[in-house]
Amino acid sequence: MAFEIDSRRIGFAVLAVVTSAVLIWFGTGLFPMWPLLWFAPLPVLLVANRGSWRAAALTALLTWMIGNLNREHYFNSALHVPLVGRVEILVAPAIVFTIAVLLYGALLRRGAYWSALLAFPAVWVSFEYFFNLTSPHGTAISLSYSELNFLPVLQLASITGPWGISFLVLSFSSAIAIGIHLRTAAPKQAIRIVSAALGAVALILVFGAVRLAMPAPPGHEVRVGLVASDMPENQDVAAPGADTERILRDYAAHAETLAAEGATLIVLPEHLGTIVDPDAAGADAILQSLADKTGSTIVAGVGHISRDVKYNQARVYSPGAQEMNYNKHHLLPPFESIFTPGNNMVTMPGRTGTLGVAICKDMDFTGLSRSYGNAGAGLMLVPAWDFVLDRFAHGHIAVMRGVEDGFGIARAARGGYLTVSDNRGRILAETRSDSAPFATLIADVPAVHDKTLYLRFGNWFAWVVLAVLGFVLLRLIALSGRSK
């Protein structure tokens, strides 16, 4: 009889690992399917409901490690992360997930059902927040990005930043798991907990729907043009001198066509070539003369070598004005270790509002985007360079920054997408950079700044989550002698 019970428990745990790992695999990663992550932790939490802490720990650890293998090919072949780094990427989040499951289970067994409900998402979101503060990859691991296509929920970022979305998704599973656990012993309590979770989801969906339905102020649209090329001869960074001038002339020809179609703002990709002082005049003249001729502002990414300093730079060419330079703040190791991080912002007045400039990975970080939001930016112009495989996952991270801080985004990436989005996270126009020898995109986007609660109060929700985590840990200590 004992063998039969153990066999059933083992079978249930194996089924939970398989089910949750599959849901994590397809619910996160490079092309996430947003509904799946809402249910992904549920089978593991059900094991924690009925099994020992050892069974719950092993189930949770295996589940997250297997599910997290969905990006192994990307880390290995695209980013060339060494084996030690890939193991760390695989194991560290799995350990955090396991701790979250164990804390949930410990509180549940002691009858602290509301604390268990909050503990599970609180552990994970605290991890996301500290990773964001300490890692060169910022918010890149956040589960909130799995919900980029779920626009009503995405609007929550305008209040809480990414942290609230991750918390919402994970708390849904913990509420359902507690409801199942209490369905016979305490059905009224089960109904209260599940109803509270579903009520929060419903409230957020209503808020999101209302926010999406609010029209942009009339007369604030600008026409932007994007161009990028993935042709083999344009895959590398052009050498200084003739090679850089050649690729800038090639891009200028397509930018001129976009200007003829009415684009007043034109964005080219990141790090097209290399400009070396004091011989920058020849390269600058190509795009400056085009800006003067067409009346369009052009943003292009280059490597800029000045004396002993190297910057990954966006150069801004406006009609009849001296070019402005923005130096990338957040550099991707080891690919960009030769560059010095920048510390400046570039804003400029546009026809309908303030424009800002950033480069690719800068948009993975909430702090810089909030600074642009506080400066009143209504549209961000972002040269970028992605790794093909991450064209959706990394290319769309910037979309959430726009929702958080109230601006639209025009992002032109090699090895990715040409994307125009508004301050609600709607993709207004998009095409792949390999869709033509020189892919182009033209779109009208509202360039109006929207004041958000996240912009005003910052990471307040992350601090609330840290306080919640502290509370549930104290609650566990207080109930240490009690177990059901």
Tell me the per-residue pLDDT of 320-336, one tens digit each, with 9 for 90 and over. Answer: 999 999 999 999 999 99
Q: Is 158 exposed, middle or buried (0-12, 13-18, 19+ CB in 10 A)?
A: buried
Tell whether 11 is covered by a domain.
Answer: yes
Tell me which residue has tokens 């690719």: 360
How far from each other are the two terminal CA atoms of the chain, in whole angstroms? Answer: 23
Please report which confidence band the pLDDT of residue 484 belongs to, taking 50, 70 and 90 as the band edges: low
Q: Can you read off the two tokens belonging to residue 425? A: 């996270």
* Type of residue at 209: A
How much of the chain exceeds pLDDT 70, in percent?
98
Q: State the residue range of the domain holding 59.
A: 2-214+459-478
User: Do 188 and 225 belong together in one domain?
Assistant: no
What is the per-residue pLDDT across 377-430, written as a single tens digit (0 to 9) for each? 999 999 999 999 999 999 999 999 999 999 999 999 999 999 999 999 999 999
- Predicted local distance difference test score (pLDDT) of residue 471: 97
User: Do 107 and 143 belong together in one domain?
Assistant: yes
- Predicted local distance difference test score (pLDDT) of residue 233: 82
User: Do 164 and 235 belong together in one domain?
Assistant: no
What is the per-residue pLDDT across 244-258, written as a single tens digit (0 to 9) for each? 999 999 999 999 999
What is the per-residue pLDDT across 212-252, written as a single tens digit (0 to 9) for each? 999 877 778 999 999 999 998 888 899 999 999 999 999 99
- Predicted local distance difference test score (pLDDT) of residue 1: 45
User: Do 361 and 290 belong together in one domain?
Assistant: yes
pLDDT reading at 5 higher than 50: yes
Tell whether 202 is covered by a domain.
Answer: yes
> How many whole angstroms separate alpha carbon 245 and alpha carbon 262?
25
Tell whether 205 is covered by a domain.
Answer: yes
- Predicted local distance difference test score (pLDDT) of residue 8: 83
H-assigned helices in 31-146? 34-39, 42-50, 53-67, 72-73, 83-109, 113-134
Please report which confidence band the pLDDT of residue 2 belongs to, taking 50, 70 and 90 as the band edges: very low
Q: Can you read off the two tokens belonging to residue 30? A: 């490079």
> How many whole angstroms separate alpha carbon 102 and alpha carbon 473?
12
User: Do 467 and 358 belong together in one domain?
Assistant: no
- Predicted local distance difference test score (pLDDT) of residue 260: 97
pLDDT reading at 289 higher than 60: yes
Tell whether 483 is covered by a domain.
Answer: no
Tell whether 38 is covered by a domain.
Answer: yes
User: Do 471 and 405 belong together in one domain?
Assistant: no
Query: In this structure, are strands 221-228 and 297-306 parallel, antiparallel, or unpaired?
Result: unpaired
CB count in 10 Å sphere of residue 456 = 12
Lowest mean pLDDT among 7-16, 126-135, 152-161, 454-463: 7-16
User: What mean pLDDT do residues 289-297 have?
Assistant: 97
- Backbone phi, psi, residue 426, to 5°: -75, 130
Tell whether 452 is covered by a domain.
Answer: no
User: Do 358 and 463 belong together in one domain?
Assistant: no
* Type of residue at 473: L
User: Do 347 and 396 belong together in one domain?
Assistant: yes
- Predicted local distance difference test score (pLDDT) of residue 23: 98
pLDDT reading at 482 higher than 70: no
CATH code, 402: 3.60.110.10
- Predicted local distance difference test score (pLDDT) of residue 279: 83
Average pLDDT of the chain is 95
Tell whether 366 is covered by a domain.
Answer: yes
Of residues 288 and 12, which shows the higher confidence score? 288
In 3D space, the residue among 118, 31, 122 whose CA is nearest the CA of residue 71 turns out to be 31
Please report which confidence band the pLDDT of residue 307 belongs to, taking 50, 70 and 90 as the band edges: confident
- Backbone phi, psi, residue 332, to 5°: -90, 110
User: Do 57 and 74 belong together in one domain?
Assistant: yes
What separation in angstroms does the CA of 204 have from each of 152, 165, 174, 193, 301? 7, 10, 18, 17, 39
- Domain total of the chain: 2
What is the per-residue pLDDT across 30-69, written as a single tens digit (0 to 9) for each? 999 999 999 999 999 999 998 789 999 999 999 999 999 9
> How many whole angstroms separate alpha carbon 465 and alpha carbon 294?
51
User: Do 352 and 384 belong together in one domain?
Assistant: yes
User: Do 63 and 153 belong together in one domain?
Assistant: yes
User: Do 173 and 117 belong together in one domain?
Assistant: yes
pLDDT reading at 122 higher than 50: yes
Tell whether 484 is covered by a domain.
Answer: no
